[in-house]
Structure 1
Amino acid sequence: MLAPFILLASAPLGVLAGDILKTNGYSSCQDNSDVKVNNLNIEFDRNTKKITFDVSGTSEREQKVKAILIVNAYGQEVYRNEFNPCDENTKMDELCPVPAGNFAAKGVQSIPDSYISQIPSIAFNVPDLDSQATLQLKAVDGGEQLACITSQVNNGKSLSVPGVSYVAAGIAGAALVVSGLSALASAGNAGAPTSSPTFLEVMGWFQSMAMNGMMSVQYPGVYQSFSKNFAFSTGLIQWQAMQETIDSFRNKTGGNLTEDSVAFLKNATLIHTDSGMNYTKRSLDTILLWTRDELDTSVNGTEQTSQQDSKVMHTVSGIQGYVEELTIPNGNTFMTVLLIFAIVVAAISVGILLFKVILETWALCGNFPKRLTGFRKRYWWVLAKTITNLILLAYGIWVLYCVYQFKRGDSWAAKLLAGVTLGIFTAILAFFTWKIWSIAHKYKKMEGNSSALYDNKEVWRKYSIFYENYKRSYWWIFVPAIVYMFARGCVIAGADGHGMVQAAGQLIVESILLLLLLWYRPFSLKSGNWINIVIQVVRVLSVVCILVFVEELGVAQTTKTVTGLVLVVMQAVLTGLLAILIAVNAIIICCRDNPHRRKRKEAEKARDLDNLTPLDARNSLLMDPTEYKRSSIPAPFGNRGGYDPVPLSEQQTTYTGAQQFGEGHERLLGDAASFGGRDHSHKRSYSMERSQSPPSSRAPRLPEIDLGAPHGGYYDQGGYQRYAY
């Protein structure tokens, strides 16, 4: 009779391995029952058509019972069967009657095809489906309910798989590389934004999905498993050695490890109280599970307690349920994130220091490239800027974990570290906010605007990580973004255990940020505006879907399951689109021209004006005179004191002293003599000489007026000065 119980109980739930359905823990759905089940472990293999069962418990008195098996799938009753263990067709000697004291039954039974055909094939293929089976024992005499036990069934398939986490981490790593390449391509160009999606935007999206999974609502199993794939973005990385060290630290600083340690979680089966199943209060924490292979039955004996592999049924919900699914004890949550953050900072510091050592060695041993000189001079600033960037990235989840640590208590040292680090992080962000705001105010007062935040290379280098992707008039948007991260963390952690408050608070916070983005569209690039608006729209829709899971609203389980699938598909599609956009950005960066090389070419073209003609549009009064280098013939009267700002070339000769007097005198006399003559060759020569004079000599200039004593020139025969210079 255990066969149909498990078969049809498992028909609607879970999927993890081939064609196998099995129970996943159990719980009592009745307080103060006469019959207590201490063990329920049943597994069905469709290939072998056999069921393996292991059931044990205790009874206060000997009595005849009848059993009622109820199977629910997605909140709907799909199977109900009532049988008597004493009937000939369903005979079970160990339960007919139920003896006083201990009883146990375990073994392997073959299942008829008539029962197997009733199991939907979807039960073996769809991951994380919601189903549960309930077994009630009632007294034959009087119909009093003696016991109630419920269990979930799974088939080994789940959306919580390491491969998804690896792919998500790869997407985040690709975003980091592309953002770095974009920053290098625009190095030295103040005001150059980074193309979206950036590393901060991708990690922020992953953190949103992880934080959604931490809320205290009745999630369908499919979304509960899906959200765990992005736990790495919030610093939750399982490392057993580190968890054992944290346990030791907490034990020495006032922590309670009784039900909150790695050793406890190893021997516990987690039961989510917010999964829609019915549970008694803490009775689940004292029930044991046993799994044994050989066929055996016993009554009032101790054989059932030998060779046991016991597991404790442990109830969880909210943030606790999320972190303990990752084998991270609830009390270790903040310390885990703190150590992971410290490891990342240490790795980055060592990497930057190693790079500096390489540069210093290079400078001593060979020619050092000038473009790397800035890094050598600003090593400490680069390190401080990188750490500040990490703080900005982790601030939202840091607020969440610190507030959660304050709320749940435990180790006094952990609470102290949470308070100190949260204060330091908030102070650092507040300092940069004040500094940027004061600089913007100063330049706005002096110049009428705050464009210096983008145009001043030194200011840009120091503070651009906060506003580099925003328009010049909306540089201040980073302040509401920080407030948004703080508010979101406070709502989720502060209202842990109250799903309705969490969902309503999240909806308000996310909606305000969406309205801000739609109203201002603050990003410099159109792509940045659209990508961030789409991300925020999906965040708002995700919270709306989470409202469906709130227990107080009483939404049907079928609707919750469909909503969970929609939520998974919506978030997975957006994640895929972000990955595609990152790949597109990488291709664009690799294929486009280097901006520095393009600027050098433009500068060379601007200097190359040797092909000017008298009728060239560029040789006009609206342009500055340009240096003419190829001519060696000076202007007739030189370039002294003129309006032309361009100096004469080195090839042009300057006439001074006697040389000017002699040569200039002869030239003027020759010109005068030929003024009325017919010497056309001389005239042509002089015309050609005039036409070959440099552009600078033909530029308009103010008339020269010299009121001082002449310092050179020539005189006529009467002694009168004709020309002074």
Structure 2
Amino acid sequence: MFFPVARLRFAAGAVLALLPVASAHIDSLFASSVSYCAPPESLLVQQFDIAYYPHNNSVVFNVTAASVQSNVNVSANLYLNVYGMQPVNLTIDLCTLLNSALCPLPLYDFQGADTLPLPQSVDISTRLPGIAYKIPDLEAFAQLTLFDVDTNQQKACIQVTLANGWSTRQPGVSWATGGLALLTLTSAAWQSFTPDALAPFRLLDLLGLYQIIAASALLNLNYPVIYRSFALNFSWALGLFDQSLTSSIQTSIDHMRNITGGHVSSPTTGGATALVNRKTSPYNLFSTSRGAVNALAPQFLSRNSTIQHLAARDVKVVTPTSNNILGEGLPVYAETMNIATGNAFMTAFFSALILLAIAVAVLAIVYGAIWLGSRWPSRHQARFVSVLESQPTVMRSWLFRVALVCFFPLIVLAFYQWTLDDSWLAVLISVITFLVVTGVVAYGVVRVLLYTRRSSPDFLNMDLPSFVAFYGQYRVPRQYAFLIPISAAFLRALFIAFAKGSETAQIALMLAVETFSLIALCVLRPGKTRRADVLAIYLAVVRFVCTGLLIAFLQRIAVTPIPRVAIGIITAVIWSVTVIIMFFNTLWNLGLRTLWRRRSEWRNMRLGSTTSASRSSQSFPEPLREKGGSTTSFDVLGRRNPTPSRQAPLDPSINKPYPTVTPTTTAAEPTSASTATSYGEQIESKWQSPSRPQSVYSSSMYTGTPQSSALGVTPPSANGCTLHPPIAEDRAI
């Protein structure tokens, strides 16, 4: 047993904890893809399904093959590579198996399916640790080589990648992340009409996070299978969905490319794994010294008609020097979903068209419903009319959000399409798409940056809110900060597509982009709230850290498989935790914040009422008489109050009452009015008076000349200003 694999147990357990609960699983290793590791000479394979069960040390197989040479006695060498190590490397004499049915090889099609208990001499279970049956996306392959017993010449070489049934690529994860996006979309749409709401911008942050995770597997790096499988869960954010081999969309794209100069091959029935570079994962820097005849002369393919028929069986000949090996990054990524490399852009293009059509249809339905509400007589009609006036602005802002969501996927795949030298029609469509999407985003950028130079404020008030998707989440002095994510997305697309020739330059440029973004956000802190700045900086830190961890996947560094897989698991866990945090952020914006605020207010109210009740029921001590006849009082908390309770004598001159003034009649008062007033007499109404009395707010109020009031009373004067009391009519009103 090789103990270094045990290091993966903790990391594998962390990943398995994130996966959905599965049904009972029987430990096994089975073939996931098959290919020739040398041009076939005497053995042709049509089907090679084989599985090993350690609990009874048996092999279950379903093999369809044919021998094209007579009287060939062969021995088989079985070689197993697990994470770059070689636990199994043994030779088996086929004449001792199946009652010598394979000695010599029969000259006819062999089709057999059976369960074969292995002899005690072939003990594979003790050579493999238990973690090999549990870790997701096992990186292992088996190679079966047939040698002529008499001449020791290689007659056949078959390479089979192995799997154990566990993987970080789960349909449930894709559905869960898509459901979170729909929940965030619901929150954003609900709060579109709320001023300063951040939910619409969190939708862009969430989808941007998904796109970054998916695009992190598009670099020209030696990714561990476990990380590439994890990133494939987010491929839908790039507009790339799993396709079947008979997909009508892929068939139409293939036909279009074939008639317009396309030459990139379509995906094979065996998937992308069979065509992965033999120097990279899952083959883990496999030495080519074992395949001494891998470079067997290709003249067999031209002179043997039987081998000409091999293409129909779709089993590829893949050697370390083959020209059909898939490159790292987008080719392997897309082919794993049964999307040919040349079809990647057109697939995302159709996905973007579908998204745009859905967005326009939903906006049209909402506008129609609001318009009907504004025309239908009801108690909410005024509200519908108010919403209808702002609806065009809201619709334009959502169309800009759709453009921002499609911006990165379309330009990165358009750039990659230009590097393929493929169908001229696909290239033309990619150029037009690039100009349209970039033009829409650039138009919004320019309008926001130059809006302060407009001379008409009314025009700004009507037009600028349409571009709120760009600047709305930032403070006014920092509204230009929206250039950071847009510029970073454009640079990432450039480096992924055009720097793929140098993996070192590619990862260095990507790391520089994330470093600049992080520093800019830390310095500017452009968010409207502190929580918004914390979230933006946290996302930038995650992108920086995860991009830095990708350095371990550089082929020239040649990190051994086990540490490389562990780093891939750590990176996947960091991304997963970030997605979970965004989920709680969505719940917070959806209503959890309101519930929390109301709960705090309720607690404060309850605490306040309890405190008031305790204060009212509290008995205060009687004043204690101290020496000298003074008393000591206590405050509301029962503490000693040093202030004496005796009142100091006041200056009589200060407390003089107003002088007694004898009221006199005025010209404005009727002759029948009494010269004395009392609260028991009825005061004549002003509506019966021929002229309205002078207001107390007249200019004479602030003059130094004493004036008579409506009641004929001359009020006392203070500092040379006459103060007028309210007139009698005001008391009666």
User: Normalising by structure 2, what TM-score?
Assistant: 0.69
Residue 419 of structure 1, CA deviation = 0.5
Say which is worse superposed, 21-30 or 372-381, in terms of deviation: 372-381
Say which is worse superposed, 246-255 or 169-178, in terms of deviation: 246-255
Say which is worse superposed, 556-565 or 408-417, in terms of deviation: 408-417
2:544 to 525, 540, 543: 540
Q: 1:238 to 1:268 in 2, by over 3 A?
A: closer
SS where residue 183 of structure 1 aligns?
A: coil
Residue 36 of structure 1, CA deviation = 5.9
Aligned twin of 2:237: 233
Say which is worse superposed, 572-581 or 466-475, in terms of deviation: 572-581
Give the distance between the partners of 1:460 and 1:111, measured in 2 at CA: 75
Residue 469 of structure 1, CA deviation = 0.6
Give the distance between the partners of 1:215 and 1:283, measured in 2 at CA: 29
Q: 1:529 to 1:363 in 2, by over 3 A?
A: closer
CA shift digits 1:365-413 (9 cap, x unpaired): 4236333325544655544332221111221111101101111132222
CA shift digits 1:485-537 (9 cap, x unpaired): 11101111223464333322211111211111112111112121111211121
Give the distance between the partners of 1:25 and 1:497, measured in 2 at CA: 28
Query: Is 1:482 matched with 2:482?
Result: no
Does the CA-based 8 Å contact 2:35-2:159 persist in structure 1?
yes
Aligned twin of 1:437: 449
Does the CA-based 8 Å contact 1:22-1:44 persist in structure 2?
yes
Does the CA-based 8 Å contact 1:270-1:325 persist in structure 2?
no
1:26 to 34, 38, 42: 34
Q: 1:43 to 1:666 in 2, by over 3 A?
A: closer
2:523 to 494, 516, 519: 519
Query: Is 1:336 matched with 2:343?
Result: no
Residue 102 of structure 1, CA deviation = 7.5
| Counterpart AA for 1:415 | V
CA shift digits 1:451-470 (9 cap, x unpaired): x89x9753552221111111
Residue 325 of structure 1, CA deviation = 1.5
Does the CA-based 8 Å contact 1:196-1:528 persist in structure 2?
no
| Counterpart AA for 1:171 | L
SS where residue 214 of structure 1 aligns?
A: coil
Taking the TM superposition and a 5 Å limit, the aligned residue runs for 1:134-533 are 134-138=143-147, 148-184=157-193, 186=194, 189=195, 192-194=196-198, 198-238=202-242, 240-256=247-263, 259-260=265-266, 265=269, 270-273=274-277, 274-277=280-283, 278=286, 315-317=325-327, 318-367=329-378, 369-377=381-389, 380-442=392-454, 457-496=461-500, 498-533=502-537
CA shift digits 1:120-171 (9 cap, x unpaired): 3333333212112233445656766665443211122222121110000011
Aligned twin of 1:644: none
SS where residue 198 of structure 1 aligns?
A: helix
2:79 to 43, 46, 70: 70
Q: 1:467 to 1:167 in 2, by over 3 A?
A: same
Residue 301 of structure 1, CA deviation = 14
1:41 to 34, 49, 53: 49
Give the distance between the partners of 1:268 and 1:144, measured in 2 at CA: 30
CA shift digits 1:162-195 (9 cap, x unpaired): 11100000111111122223333x2xx4xx2415
Say which is worse superposed, 551-560 or 36-45, in terms of deviation: 36-45
Aligned-residue Cα RMSD (Å) equals: 4.6
Give the distance between the partners of 1:242 and 1:301, measured in 2 at CA: 35
Does the CA-based 8 Å contact 2:35-2:315 persist in structure 1?
no
| Counterpart AA for 1:346 | A
Q: 1:342 to 1:400 in 2, by over 3 A?
A: same
Give the distance between the partners of 2:511 and 2:203, measured in 1 at CA: 25
Give the distance between the partners of 2:258 and 2:205, measured in 1 at CA: 38
| Counterpart AA for 1:329 | A
SS where residue 156 of structure 1 aligns?
A: coil
| Counterpart AA for 1:25 | S
CA shift digits 1:273-315 (9 cap, x unpaired): 242525899999x9xxxxxxxxxxxxx999xx99x97555774
Does the CA-based 8 Å contact 2:42-2:68 persist in structure 1?
yes
User: Normalising by structure 1, what TM-score?
Assistant: 0.70
Give the distance between the partners of 1:206 and 1:267, measured in 2 at CA: 24
Residue 198 of structure 1, CA deviation = 0.7
Q: 1:72 to 1:252 in 2, by over 3 A?
A: closer
Does the CA-based 8 Å contact 2:187-2:199 persist in structure 1?
no
Residue 483 of structure 1, CA deviation = 1.4
Does the CA-based 8 Å contact 2:226-2:569 persist in structure 1?
yes
SS where residue 327 of structure 1 aligns?
A: coil
Give the distance between the partners of 1:112 and 1:198, measured in 2 at CA: 61
Aligned twin of 2:661: none
Q: 1:59 to 1:666 in 2, by over 3 A?
A: closer
SS where residue 556 of structure 2 aligns?
A: helix
Identity in percent: 22
SS where residue 94 of structure 2 aligns?
A: coil
Say which is worse superposed, 130-139 or 465-474, in terms of deviation: 130-139
Does the CA-based 8 Å contact 1:37-1:58 persist in structure 2?
yes
| Counterpart AA for 2:667 | H
Residue 560 of structure 1, CA deviation = 0.8
Residue 64 of structure 1, CA deviation = 5.5
Residue 197 of structure 1, CA deviation = 7.2
Residue 67 of structure 1, CA deviation = 3.7
Give the distance between the partners of 2:305 and 2:448, measured in 1 at CA: 76
Give the distance between the partners of 2:579 and 2:398, measured in 1 at CA: 26
SS where residue 452 of structure 2 aligns?
A: helix
Aligned twin of 1:292: none
Give the distance between the partners of 1:137 and 1:266, measured in 2 at CA: 22
Q: 1:227 to 1:497 in 2, by over 3 A?
A: farther
Taking the TM superposition and a 5 Å limit, the aligned residue runs for 1:572-587 are 572-587=576-591
Give the distance between the partners of 2:679 and 2:559, measured in 1 at CA: 107
Say which is worse superposed, 145-154 or 585-594, in terms of deviation: 585-594
Q: 1:526 to 1:328 in 2, by over 3 A?
A: same
Residue 214 of structure 1, CA deviation = 2.0
Q: 1:522 to 1:57 in 2, by over 3 A?
A: farther
Residue 205 of structure 1, CA deviation = 0.4
Residue 91 of structure 1, CA deviation = 7.7
| Counterpart AA for 1:490 | L
Residue 117 of structure 1, CA deviation = 4.0
Residue 321 of structure 1, CA deviation = 1.5
Gaps of 5+ in 2: 1-8, 17-21, 299-303, 318-323, 599-664, 687-691, 705-733
Give the distance between the partners of 2:703 and 2:343, measured in 1 at CA: 87
Give the distance between the partners of 2:176 and 2:699, measured in 1 at CA: 69
| Counterpart AA for 1:249 | M
Taking the TM superposition and a 5 Å limit, the aligned residue runs for 1:552-567 are 552-567=556-571
Aligned twin of 2:123: 115
Q: 1:33 to 1:501 in 2, by over 3 A?
A: farther
| Counterpart AA for 1:316 | L
Q: 1:159 to 1:283 in 2, by over 3 A?
A: farther
Say which is worse superposed, 13-22 or 146-155, in terms of deviation: 13-22
Q: 1:682 to 1:266 in 2, by over 3 A?
A: closer
Does the CA-based 8 Å contact 2:66-2:109 persist in structure 1?
yes
Give the distance between the partners of 2:571 and 2:137, measured in 1 at CA: 14
| Counterpart AA for 2:507 | A
Give the distance between the partners of 2:538 and 2:376, measured in 1 at CA: 52
Q: 1:431 to 1:702 in 2, by over 3 A?
A: farther
Aligned twin of 1:126: 135
Give the distance between the partners of 1:65 and 1:557, measured in 2 at CA: 33
Does the CA-based 8 Å contact 1:59-1:98 persist in structure 2?
no
Taking the TM superposition and a 5 Å limit, the aligned residue runs for 1:72-87 are 72-86=81-95
